[in-house]
Chain A
Amino acid sequence: MHETNTLVALAKARTPVVVTGLGVACAIGLSVPEFTSNLFSGKSGIGSVEGFSTDPYDCKQAGEVRGVGPPRGMESERDRTVWLACKAADEAVQDSGLSFTENLGARTAVVIGTSVASVFAFFKWKKARAKSESKGVFGSPPYLSPARVAGILCERFGVSGGSMTAVTACSAGASAIAMATDLIRLDRADVVIACAADPLSEVSFSGFSGLSSLSMTVSRPFDQRRSGVLLGEGGGAIILEGEHHARTRRARIYAAVAGYGLSNDAHHPTQPDPAAGGAIRSIRSALADAGVDASEMNYINAHGTSTKYNDLMELTAVRQIYGPSVGHIPISSIKPMIGHTLGAAGMIEAAATVLALYHRQLPPTLNFECPIEGYEYDFVPTSRPVEEANIMSSHSFAFGGNAACIIFTKHRAEGERAK
């Protein structure tokens, strides 16, 4: 069923995709410079939850974003998902240097990733309604739909080349990057604003708490003493652009999107497949799509939730894919710094991977001390420079079985590539 010749022909025909803008709003930074500085200095953004009372819960901590409010020009907007998305997207668009004329707007699409989205506002409304016994209506249909964020961003930047929304839970950000990549590869757009956002909601907090997945101490992915995840919130945005388009306007190019892989482990709604089937298929597809050999990988930005089963599943996948060379590949998770930002995680962590590639510096796995027996790999306990920074990947896994892997490569000038 597989036709190698077709794959080769496709790879030659499709438009290369590059990253020309970044935007981040999360617990360790409200801008890319702040995020970068804290990312590489290993600063934790985890603190006591202020957004709602944690009295009913044993866990009291999360990675909240302080100092974000309604976006410029939208002062009456109440949905925190929109706040975070606009904050990140505004920065990414500005960073890219793009201004959307009518023609460019028609060739630009918005792709959103989110999981919580409208549920955040819906929960608040339900709570208020229970107190006041008001019989008001939550809102018109768009307020119930995650697609509203994409509509708002299209309007904000004047783009009309399509609005899409990935809702694959904790892999939504990575799914959005994959969908955005295809839009450019298949000449459906020249530019895509890929953005993901999720607020810290009591609904998610309660859900993870009920599943006994929240840590009472710290998040320490891949550590023998890991005891669960800490949640976070945030927005991330990446401007993807056709390479030729970016070069023509002399844009700064952070990295290239070399490939992606999407799959599903088809195992259980919440528990990861112990054999890591979905993760393995997504990583393998991404490597094939990127035309990269596993031995060439320079760094893996792991999903690394710090839960017992998810970390083991991810390490099983990594060992299976990278074989004996896995011990030489630095692997880190930034969730101990920013919390698990759910639908935004894939996008913010992809941005961290791009920054690692661009600055040749690895973000650390904060709080990591003792490896799990049998998995004594390089988990980057403290940030450090990296000698080889050519190919790096980002993993995302989700409830519902979704698995995603995005591979970024160092962007090379045309002459450099010919050599």
Chain B
Amino acid sequence: MMRSGKIVLLTGYGSLLPPNSSTKDHEIRQAVRRIPEIEAGGLVVSTKLRRMDRLAQMTMAASTTALRSANLSLDGQVALRTGVVFNTWFGPMQTTEAYITSIVEQGQKLTPASLYPLTVPNASTGLVTMELKALGPNLTISGSSAVRLAVDAIRQDLATVMLAGGSDELTPTVVDSFKSCGLIPADEKAAARGFALAEGAIVLVLEEACYAERRRAPAIAEIVECASGNSLPYTGAPFDFRADYIARTMRCVLERAEVGACDIGAFVSGDNGAPGLAAVEREALIKVFGEALPEMRYPKCEIGELAGASGSGVVLQAALTASELAPNTRSGRRNRRPYLLANCYELCGDITTVLLRPPSHSE
């Protein structure tokens, strides 16, 4: 095990989600939840927005809000030491479909050449990086590991600040793919029964604790450790997991951090309502915690499955919950179960578990 001793704090976040995302009222919780209009105008100069497609605008809006929330501007040395890791399951689908449709229907000569560079999966990360001038390590991934990769970059001193997050947009092709496997009903305006599909972007600002403290940044939570794994067999079903593999990833985090299951005060579930996932997750929890489960949170049951933004969404929910587990400074007693675990499940058996706790300097 290699721990560098660098503490990683979450100091800001930004999100762009469909309206009523926090509702628990299932009557208005539609099976497919879109963002009607991207409100990035107040955050980004309009001329810059024009050269961004919808996915990039969503990612940009969340990133700009996140930096504001962290009270951080990327100038000089900070820009050189700021990296980006964004996750997307499907990439810029709207632009890709428009480009492909144009080639198929009108031919290459009548297809705008400027569309093609926006179809590559890292296009939105690139455009956001360009606008923010974040010059450190830069990755676009398709999977659950964005927060882990960001933490590893800071721990290895490759960056001081990392923007970690993800985004995805819903197009008819994406929605149809979820309909085809029965995860959402044919009438997408129907109320969701369990699984709901949403689009959006969530970006977290992670930074090295010494730097955050030096600039008096407001810390929301400490990311203590992360681990990734994958479930077998891979059957081709979108969310087919086995409890053993989920439990193993969770145990791996606890072992690396040398934290006991009994220290976990809350668990933020990655369950998105897909058939069977709740039962599998519960089986995994029992393997790790026994029958005395920690307090449970289910953010995806409210927000829906956010695809590329879902992993950072679960970690964000855990970070916000961490403040509730903060030490009781009025009485002077320490919270005896100060840690939280958050699980992220993504397509094709991909699992990441993140261990958090309230920021230590707030104690």
Q: How far is the CB of B119 from chain A (nearest CB, A)?
A: 7
Write the chain B residue with the least CB distance to A267: B130
Within 170-210 of A, Cβ neighbours of B (below 8 Å) are at: 175, 179, 182, 185-188, 202-203, 206-210
**Given A154-B349, A187-B2, A264-B135, are A164 and B88 neighbors across the interface (CB < 8 Å)?**
no
List 20 A-B residue pairs with CB atoms under 8 Å apart, sorted by A's residue number. A6-B157, A139-B177, A141-B183, A141-B238, A145-B89, A145-B347, A150-B348, A166-B140, A167-B122, A169-B122, A188-B227, A206-B111, A207-B113, A263-B135, A264-B135, A289-B158, A400-B120, A400-B125, A400-B129, A402-B140
Chain B contacts for A68, CB-based, 8 A: none
Asked if A234 is at the interface (CB within 8 A of a chain B CB), the reply is: no
- Chain B: number of interface residues, binned into ranges: 35 or more
Q: Whole-angstrom distance between the alpha carbons of A207 and B119 in the complex?
A: 9
**Given A123-B100, A267-B130, A269-B127, are A277 and B135 neighbors across the interface (CB < 8 Å)?**
yes
**Given A6-B157, A130-B104, A264-B134, are A137 and B176 neighbors across the interface (CB < 8 Å)?**
yes
**Most chain-B Cβ atoms within 10 A of its Cβ — which of A143, A155, A187, A278?**
A155
Decide: B108 and A400 in contact? CB cutoff 8 A: no
**Given A7-B157, A126-B100, A267-B130, are A143 and B177 neighbors across the interface (CB < 8 Å)?**
yes
Nearest first, the 6 A-B pairs at minimum CB distance are A400-B126, A151-B348, A207-B116, A210-B113, A167-B121, A155-B234
Chain A contacts for B45, CB-based, 8 A: none
- Count of A residues near B, CB < 8 Å? 86
Decide: A162 and B160 in contact? CB cutoff 8 A: no
**Given A207-B117, A210-B108, are A142 and B348 neighbors across the interface (CB < 8 Å)?**
yes
Chain A contacts for B211, CB-based, 8 A: 1
Decide: B129 and A401 in contact? CB cutoff 8 A: yes
Decide: B123 and A160 in contact? CB cutoff 8 A: no
Q: Which of B141-149, B331-339, B355-363 contacts A (4 or more CB under 8 A)?
A: B141-149
Decide: A155 and B233 in contact? CB cutoff 8 A: yes
Contact flags (1/0) for A9-29 with B, using CB distance below 8 Å?
110011100000000000000
**Given A141-B178, A206-B108, are A168 and B130 neighbors across the interface (CB < 8 Å)?**
no
Decide: A138 and B108 in contact? CB cutoff 8 A: no
**Given A7-B157, A151-B348, A155-B232, are A166 and B126 neighbors across the interface (CB < 8 Å)?**
no
Chain B contacts for A154, CB-based, 8 A: 230, 232, 234, 349
Q: Whole-angstrom distance between the alpha carbons of A168 and B137 in the complex?
A: 12
Q: Whole-angstrom distance between the alpha carbons of A34 and B151 in the complex?
A: 41
**Given A141-B177, A142-B238, A160-B231, are A203 and B119 neighbors across the interface (CB < 8 Å)?**
yes
| Contact of A147 (CB < 8 Å), options: B96, B113, B143 | B143
| Contact of B230 (CB < 8 Å), options: A6, A15, A151, A206 | A151
Q: Whole-angstrom distance between the alpha carbons of A3 and B157 in the complex?
A: 8
Asked if B292 is at the interface (CB within 8 A of a chain A CB), the reply is: no
Asked if A375 is at the interface (CB within 8 A of a chain B CB), the reply is: no
Chain B contacts for A182, CB-based, 8 A: 149, 152, 156
Asked if B118 is at the interface (CB within 8 A of a chain A CB), the reply is: yes
Asked if B139 is at the interface (CB within 8 A of a chain A CB), the reply is: yes
Q: How far is the CB of B70 from chain A (nearest CB, A)?
A: 16
Chain A contacts for B176, CB-based, 8 A: 137-138
Asked if A413 is at the interface (CB within 8 A of a chain B CB), the reply is: no
Asked if B107 is at the interface (CB within 8 A of a chain A CB), the reply is: yes
Decide: A142 and B236 in contact? CB cutoff 8 A: yes
Write the chain A residue with the least CB distance to B52: A269
Decide: A262 and B139 in contact? CB cutoff 8 A: yes
**Given A145-B348, A162-B228, A209-B108, are A137 and B179 neighbors across the interface (CB < 8 Å)?**
yes
Q: Whole-angstrom distance between the alpha carbons of A164 and B325 in the complex?
A: 32
Q: Whole-angstrom distance between the alpha carbons of A209 and B132 in the complex?
A: 30
**Given A13-B4, A264-B84, are A206 and B103 neighbors across the interface (CB < 8 Å)?**
yes
**Given A140-B177, A151-B234, A202-B103, are A1 and B81 neighbors across the interface (CB < 8 Å)?**
yes
| Contact of A160 (CB < 8 Å), options: B141, B173, B229 | B229
Q: Whole-angstrom distance between the alpha carbons of A13 and B1 in the complex?
A: 9
Asked if B271 is at the interface (CB within 8 A of a chain A CB), the reply is: no
Decide: A402 and B96 in contact? CB cutoff 8 A: no
Asked if A266 is at the interface (CB within 8 A of a chain B CB), the reply is: yes
**Given A150-B348, A266-B134, are A401 and B126 neighbors across the interface (CB < 8 Å)?**
yes
Chain B contacts for A145, CB-based, 8 A: 89-90, 142, 347-348
